[in-house]
Structure 1
Amino acid sequence: MSEDGRPQAPLMTNTQADRVKEVARLAGRPSRLRRREFLAEGPQAVREALRLHLDRRVSGGDVGGDVGGDVGGRIVVDVYATQDALDRHQDIADLLALNGSPDVRRVNPDVLAAMSSTVTPQGFIAVCTFVDVTLDDVFATAPRLVAVLVEVRDPGNAGTIIRAADSAGADAVILTSGSVDPYNPKTVRSTVGSLFHLPLVIGVELEGLIERLRDAGMTVLAADGYGATSLDDLQDTSAARRFATVQEPVDSGAQGRELGAQAAERPDAAVAGTAGPAVPRLENASAWLFGNEAQGLPDEVTAAADARVAVPIYGQAESLNVGTAATVCLYASARAQRLR
């Protein structure tokens, strides 16, 4: 018996057991799609999967909330762990002891290695149900910040963007058709648990997506190294609007009042005292489009966006990795939205 009174299964030691092989097959996409399950490996990913699982069980399995899961609210099907890992991570052992948590099956290191997709497993593997939701689910929450991956195919980059979106407080991540499978073990590891924190929409057809984002009240920004709009400029004008709106200048600050009046009359324009072209406001609800590592965004996508925004490069690097660029862009929007 375990400490919480539940029957404890015997230690798994047979690397050739059918169960071990079934878990290992989830490293391949055909098995994932057939079973609608995937692997979360390592203490951080398993910890976050368990927290979401328990939240869902407590809330009654409302799949229309922040993240998906099966109808019963179940996120984690099974957990496999070595005794050493359970001893080293008491917080995870405590989660596994709570009512509603899945059973944990103790395995020896050889069995864990046979199940794992990594060369050096970290003591825990969880079999999880798919957590993606629909576009309608996302739009129903009136999102203010969304990351869209347009044919991003590198698992590490996709995972980095999901993690950056989570860190910036984004409301969802959307992956278009042709993007990497977010349940790929490399992608899951790269998210470091963020996969379980925010809504994920996968396999979205690019045609009509920009119109749907715009219909949802979002400004569509294409991250493009050759874009005519600089992210620096967007941040500067955002700061100028905030300064002009918040600060109450005395008579000697007539210029500040003049800028504030201009911002009120032309809310979508840069506050520069000129009649320059309208520019997007980072304070507004925004969807950022991030493109393929080699080709970037398709021309028809950048043409349909409200603006093509470039992250300035001050050194001699040829370009920014898409994950790095996404982090900078998402944080720029997040900061402007929080200070508006």
Structure 2
Amino acid sequence: MSASAAQHDQHQQHSPGRPATAVLANPRSERVRSVSRLAGRPARVRAGAFLAEGPQAVREAVPAGAVRDLYGTPEALERHGALVEEAARRGATVRPCTDEVLAAMADTVAPQGLLAVCRPVDVPLADVLDRRPRLVAVLAEVRDPGNAGTVLRAADAAGADAVVLTSGSVDLYNPKCVRSTAGSLFHLDVVTGVGLAEAVAGLRSAGAAVLAADGEGEDDLDDLADAAADGEGPLAGPVAWVFGTEAHGLSAADRELADAVVRVPLHGRAESLNLATAAAVCLYAAARAHRPRTSRATGARA
């Protein structure tokens, strides 16, 4: 390492929220290596931290108070000045770095100038149950990070209160999973590492009907939506949707835990829907049933 590179990468102690003054310039430094290792689960567990890459993820992480350290090129820090100030105000340490350093830290090829090291944001199942949720998505051993993140994003868009990733599901903080949530990870409660039976029992005790989504289900989603329009059926009240894996769906034992097994009707010639699409359809059906209806005659709330 050259003397100039060592000087650029020199670490000084900073008070929380105070920006570092030296620009990190050595992509092989231990600080940079320690951040890049957060792409792997063992390092995330040891550090109690994960990566959020790019302005969109950082923009959602900052208001949630999740950002511990914010790295960015000088140009990006200036361009997103208000966001950087908010991160610092909330206690994050801001550290300028070169493009080369940022690329060495990031899991993506193009992190777009900003990268945050964040604190875990998952919550205990008991906290979710105490809030008596109206709509919850439960992922039963869903191992694909892209699918899990996309379902979480759909749940957020549908106004769900929480997402539960059962034991055996993908690590919530896998970089691809975090990216797939498009920031929704920081918007709603997420529970990890609980058994499906425990999650179902808890959600049922909190007043939710438990519906398993499966292509071979006996109940048709359209029929349930029609009933909910009249204030009847499970969609009319709090609902917890259980989704299985893309390839194998839910096991017979998992389906037995639910109050009903529901299929999404296929009106065209498609053989099936992928997990994320089916989850979005189911979650929006419940969200629509929960939304106050408007009288066509008067425009008043029903």
Same fold judged by TM-score > 0.5? Answer: yes
Aligned residue for 2:153, secondary structure, equals: helix
Q: Does 1:190 align with 2:202?
A: no
Q: Does 1:27 align with 2:66?
A: no
Residue in structure 2 matched with residue 57 of structure 1 by the alignment: none
| Residues 7 and 46 of structure 1: CA distance in aligned 2, closer, same or farther (over 3 Å) | closer
Residue in structure 2 matched with residue 79 of structure 1 by the alignment: 70
1:223-271, Cα deviation, whole Å (9 max, x unpaired)? 11111111111111222x15xxxxxxxxxxxxxxxxxxxxxxxxx5xxx
Which of 51, 54, 79 aligns to 1:88? It is: 79
Q: Does 1:295 align with 2:285?
A: no
Aligned residue for 1:289, secondary structure, equals: strand
Residue in structure 2 matched with residue 285 of structure 1 by the alignment: 238
Residue in structure 2 matched with residue 326 of structure 1 by the alignment: 279
Q: Does 1:147 align with 2:137?
A: yes
> Which structure 2 residues correspond to residues 106-125 of structure 1 after superposition, within 5 A?
106-125=96-115
Aligned residue for 1:121, secondary structure, equals: coil
Residue in structure 1 matched with residue 148 of structure 2 by the alignment: 158
Whole-angstrom distance in 2 between the partners of 1:6 and 1:42: 21
Which of 177, 180, 193 aligns to 1:203? It is: 193
RMSD value, Cα: 1.6
Q: Does 1:236 align with 2:226?
A: yes
Normalised TM-score (structure 2): 0.88
Residue in structure 1 matched with residue 261 of structure 2 by the alignment: 308
Residue in structure 1 matched with residue 13 of structure 2 by the alignment: none
The answer on whether the counterparts of 1:15 and 1:114 sit within 8 Å (CA) in structure 2 is yes
Shift of 1:7: 5.6
In structure 1, give the amino acid aligned to 2:154: A
The answer on whether the counterparts of 2:197 and 2:257 sit within 8 Å (CA) in structure 1 is no
Whole-angstrom distance in 2 between the partners of 1:106 and 1:189: 22
Aligned residue for 1:174, secondary structure, equals: strand
The answer on whether the counterparts of 2:168 and 2:193 sit within 8 Å (CA) in structure 1 is yes
Shift of 1:315: 1.7
Shift of 1:146: 0.5
Whole-angstrom distance in 2 between the partners of 1:7 and 1:320: 47
1:293-339, Cα deviation, whole Å (9 max, x unpaired)? 11101111112211111111122221111111111111110111112
Q: Does 1:180 align with 2:180?
A: no
Residue in structure 1 matched with residue 203 of structure 2 by the alignment: 213
In structure 2, give the amino acid aligned to 1:51: P
Whole-angstrom distance in 2 between the partners of 1:208 and 1:136: 11
Aligned residue for 1:48, secondary structure, equals: helix
Whole-angstrom distance in 2 between the partners of 1:7 and 1:80: 10
Whole-angstrom distance in 1 between the partners of 2:179 and 2:75: 21
Q: Does 1:16 align with 2:28?
A: yes
Residue in structure 2 matched with residue 44 of structure 1 by the alignment: 56
Residue in structure 1 matched with residue 3 of structure 2 by the alignment: none
Work out the percentage of aligned pairs sharing the same amino acid. 58
Whole-angstrom distance in 2 between the partners of 1:327 and 1:151: 18
In structure 1, give the amino acid aligned to 2:268: G
* Structure 2 unmatched runs, 5+: 1-16, 294-302
In structure 2, give the amino acid aligned to 1:178: G
Shift of 1:100: 2.8
Whole-angstrom distance in 1 between the partners of 2:90 and 2:98: 25
In structure 2, give the amino acid aligned to 1:85: A
The answer on whether the counterparts of 2:237 and 2:290 sit within 8 Å (CA) in structure 1 is yes
Aligned residue for 1:312, secondary structure, equals: coil
The answer on whether the counterparts of 1:155 and 1:186 sit within 8 Å (CA) in structure 2 is yes
The answer on whether the counterparts of 1:153 and 1:293 sit within 8 Å (CA) in structure 2 is no
After TM superposition, what 4+ stretches of structure 1 lie above 3 angstroms from structure 2? Answer: 5-8
Shift of 1:121: 1.7
User: Aligned pair count?
Assistant: 277
> Which structure 2 residues correspond to residues 131-146 of structure 1 after superposition, within 5 A?
131-146=121-136
Residue in structure 2 matched with residue 260 of structure 1 by the alignment: none
The answer on whether the counterparts of 1:50 and 1:101 sit within 8 Å (CA) in structure 2 is no
1:29-57, Cα deviation, whole Å (9 max, x unpaired)? 0011111110000101111111111xxxx
Whole-angstrom distance in 2 between the partners of 1:21 and 1:146: 38
Aligned residue for 1:104, secondary structure, equals: strand
Which of 146, 156, 170 aligns to 2:160? It is: 170
